[in-house]
Amino acid sequence: MLQQAGRSDILIAGGAVIDGTGAPRRRADVALHGDRIAAVGDLSGWAADLRLDASGLVVAPGFIDMHTHSDLALLINPHAESKLRQGVTTEVIGQCGFSPAPAPDAHRDEIRALFGAWGRHVTWGWGSFADYLDALRARHTSVNVVPVVGHTSCRVGVMGEESRAPSAAELSQMRSAVEAAMGDGAFGLSSGLVYAPGMFADTDELVALAEAGASHDGVYFTHIRGEADTLLDAIAEAIEIGRRAGVAVQLSHLKAQGRQNWGKIEAVLAAVERAREDGIDVTYDVYPYTAWNTGLGQLLPSWAREGGAEAILARLSDPASRAQIRSEIAAAADADPGRWEQRLLASVDSQANRPLQGLTIAEIAARRDAAPEDVVISLLLEERCNASMVGFGMSEEDVRRALAHPLAMIGSDAAASAPYGILGKSHPHPRSYGTFPRVLGHYARDENLFPLEEAVAKMTSRPAARLGLTDRGRIAPGMAADLVVFDPDIITDRATYNSPHQYAAGVQFVIVNGVLELQGEEHRGRRAGSVLARS
């Protein structure tokens, strides 16, 4: 249908529009005016300041990365290079229990330490959640940001790294901290229940805080208490928290970890469907890889991870506790043959160990002529706990099943990266650069796991609906002008485990809030992203 001629700032002409709802693509032009979509259809009579030729290309809503750790990365490098070049226009931050705010004076250093080496590379000038959002705004990021407040940060802000239950007074202070962040615009509360000290929270503590996070229709995002042998119990706990707190639950980076647990995704999905039938609004996000990424310190027994980095380093330096830790690491590896071939050292902090990034623990052990458990302990000491690892732990079949389910949304679980500067020195999981093109290219196009329209819905309208972003995630008049134009035949992830700093191929244009931010290989650096606040 030819629409009455109008004026636009940008006209995207001749593309195949995939509108984000899952509807089949259709040939249409898209006109943008200011930061909004003005019209969609046959706009051949329209004038435009800038006309972008999208013939042969797909025009989709900008992708929403449902689970990221870009909280500090965006302050270090506001260009969000690795994300923007995948077509991501919005990142959800503050996940897995970790948000940089609130950071009250009394515990600021401990909260900063939760962020490892990157904590040193930013000027930590905020206290309240609102102050942190102002710091992000002042940085003018290339992508929009959806902030979530972390349970662990709120806990540390009140009771430090203590490995015990809070008193009634402490719990009520934590509640007030969550409520204040919600008032400042947070979209909900996140938890990280495998990491110290978040893991010291019992279910009651989480229910109390998830209730506070449910105000303003907030969501409870959770890295559940176990993704391996205790996976089904951990899912049950998350659902219980949803029921008792009356809050929507977003299971983060859904997976079944460890060979003995492969196949359990089916039971997880059945539990989620049952919970939904009972009226608990559970959904989840997932990344399209069979390897995870976490701190190297997670290899330590849980008792040895209490108390923060200084306490851990003291234990590793004490001969008696070191011997105990060493034997527990060795016993866990004995129970999991091949473990050291399947764990890569990812990022380190020191210049000296940078050549080891990307090698397996087995390879480093051979180079150093040392036992793998000693290598782990020495690396933690050398890096002062600022080291991460990648582990191959999931089955391809489970990843496919989790991706394909209609409740799935796509989340990278990664910070925005860049091949240069401070971020370029790290060795990220390839998901930082490849998540969205891998779903579109590898899984939708090459493997036919689902239609491209369904893949796009998982990264646009569904996360937008979950977040309550009523004006994003779809292409329709009046919606925010966040758009990606990509070549469906070319779109591909290029980042690998050994060589992660590789931009994706096939993304032609990215527009954020009506501003052309990426044009082919060129990042235009207009930094038109906004910090979105839940109203």
Residues making contact with Cu ion (CB under 5 A): 95-96, 413
Shortest Å, Cβ 491 to Zn ion = 27
**Phi, psi at residue 491, to the nearest 5°?**
-55, 125
**Phi, psi at residue 353, to the nearest 5°?**
-95, 5
> Is the Cβ of residue 96 or residue 423 nearer to Zn ion in the bound state?
96
> Is the Cβ of residue 25 or residue 223 nearer to Zn ion in the bound state?
223
Shortest Å, Cβ 227 to Zn ion = 9
> Is the Cβ of residue 65 or residue 373 nearer to Cu ion in the bound state?
65
Secondary structure in 3-state letters for 429-475: CCHHHHHHHHHHHHHHHHCCCCCHHHHHHHCCHHHHHHHCCCCCCCC
Q: Which does 315 bind (CB under 5 to 8 A by kind): Zn ion, Cu ion, none?
A: none
Shortest Å, Cβ 252 to Cu ion = 6
Shortest Å, Cβ 274 to Zn ion = 24
Which residue do the tokens 């937008």 mark?
A: 464
| Distance set, CA 273 to CA 243, 276, 281, 450, 480 (Å) | 14, 5, 10, 20, 32
Which two structure tokens, joined as six digits, stand for 453? 């329209």
Question: Pairing mode, if any, of strands 507-512 and 483-486?
Answer: antiparallel
Q: Is 223 left (phi over 0), alpha (psi -120 to 50) or beta?
A: beta
Q: Which does 86 bind (CB under 5 to 8 A by kind): Cu ion, Zn ion, none?
A: none
Q: Is 223 in the site for Zn ion (CB under 5 A)?
A: yes
Shortest Å, Cβ 300 to Zn ion = 17
Secondary structure in 3-state letters for 342-358: CEEECCCCCCCCHHHCC
Shortest Å, Cβ 320 to Zn ion = 32
Q: What SS3 class is residue 191?
A: strand
> Is the Cβ of residue 194 or residue 364 nearer to Cu ion in the bound state?
194
Q: What SS3 class is residue 142?
A: coil
The interface with Zn ion within residues 342-401 (CB under 5 A) comprises none
* Cβ contact 65:412 at 8 Å: yes
Taking residues 277 to 316 in sequence order and writing x for each that binds Zn ion by CB under 5 A, - otherwise, the string is: ----------------------------------------
> Is the Cβ of residue 85 or residue 223 nearer to Zn ion in the bound state?
223
Shortest Å, Cβ 405 to Cu ion = 20
Q: Which does 85 bind (CB under 5 to 8 A by kind): Cu ion, Zn ion, none?
A: none
Q: Give the binding range for Zn ion (CB under 5 A) out of 24-32, 219-227, 337-345, 442-450.
A: 219-227
Rounded-to-integer distance, Cα 176 and Cα 223, Å: 22
> Is the Cβ of residue 96 or residue 149 nearer to Zn ion in the bound state?
96
Shortest Å, Cβ 151 to Zn ion = 12
Q: Is the dihedral of CA 77, 82, 84, 88 positive or negative?
A: negative
Q: Which does 73 bind (CB under 5 to 8 A by kind): Zn ion, Cu ion, none?
A: none
Rounded-to-integer distance, Cα 133 and Cα 102, Å: 10
The interface with Zn ion within residues 62-101 (CB under 5 A) comprises 96
Q: Which does 77 bind (CB under 5 to 8 A by kind): Cu ion, Zn ion, none?
A: none
**Residues engaged in binding Zn ion (CB under 5 A):** 96, 223
